[in-house]
Chain A
Amino acid sequence: EVELVESGGGLVQPGGSLRLSCAASGFVFSDYYMDWVRQAPGKGLEWVGRMRDKANGYTTEYAASVKGRFTISRDDSKNSLYLDMDNLKTDDTAVYFCGRSVSGSWSNWLDSWGQGTLVSVSS
């Protein structure tokens, strides 16, 4: 069974930093692209970014709202995905989900999600 478990959320002051982790199990993690998606309180879903697999050079994509402040990485030996968030703003307050995407098929976006971890940015 596919399982994704996020951790690392918490309260941080504006301008601060935080690292989120996503531990994966139940599938061959190294074969998949992985995404981060967030949801501000009471709001809709917003795609944050993605890291591709080794076969595609571990390249990344980011939403404009986080580009230059957030960095996605992964450690296939630990079946883990990371989101490093710097220069956090109050607008970054949200539940952050990791999601499994694309392995061999472009149609396979976000077929599994973690339970999410809450990031609150406030002074």
Chain B
Amino acid sequence: DIQVTQSPSAMSASVGDRVTITCRASQGIGNNLAWFQQKSGKVPKRLIYAASSLQSGVPSRFSGSGSGTEFTLTISSLQPEDFATYYCLQHNTYPPTFGQGTKVEIK
């Protein structure tokens, strides 16, 4: 199975900060990676697909980059509604695997 290592596992940030979350895959996965946001007690919501494509309706402050084994989710200017847990998902091969999650908290 492909292992996905997500970092950091948690972080504190302030409104307006630039936030970067990284996922590293144990082997190359092309651009077969998606990013999800999950607010406490809510349903996960896809933000990014194909590593860098923005899901319709998602604010442009969210962006994704990378290919192969290293991927990044960037929030250019953190907003109050962005405090949540973020997950990456590799879907290059079965079984698809999620990262462990990054909880973004208010500093």
- Seen from chain A, the residues whose Cβ lies within 8 Å of a Cβ on chain B are 37, 44-47, 61, 63-64, 97, 106-111, 113-116
User: Cα distance A116–B44 when bound, in Å?
Assistant: 10
16 contacts between A and B (CB under 8 A): A45-B38, A45-B44, A45-B98, A47-B95, A63-B95, A64-B1, A107-B32, A107-B50, A109-B89, A110-B44, A110-B46, A110-B89, A113-B44, A114-B43, A115-B43, A116-B43
In this complex, what residue of A is CB-closest to B51? A107
Q: Chain A interface secondary structure, helix, strand, loop or mixed?
A: loop
Chain B 59-81 interface mask (CB, 8 Å, partner A; 1/0): 00000000000000000000000
- Seen from chain B, the residues whose Cβ lies within 8 Å of a Cβ on chain A are 1, 31-32, 34, 36, 38, 43-46, 49-50, 53, 55, 87, 89, 91, 94-101
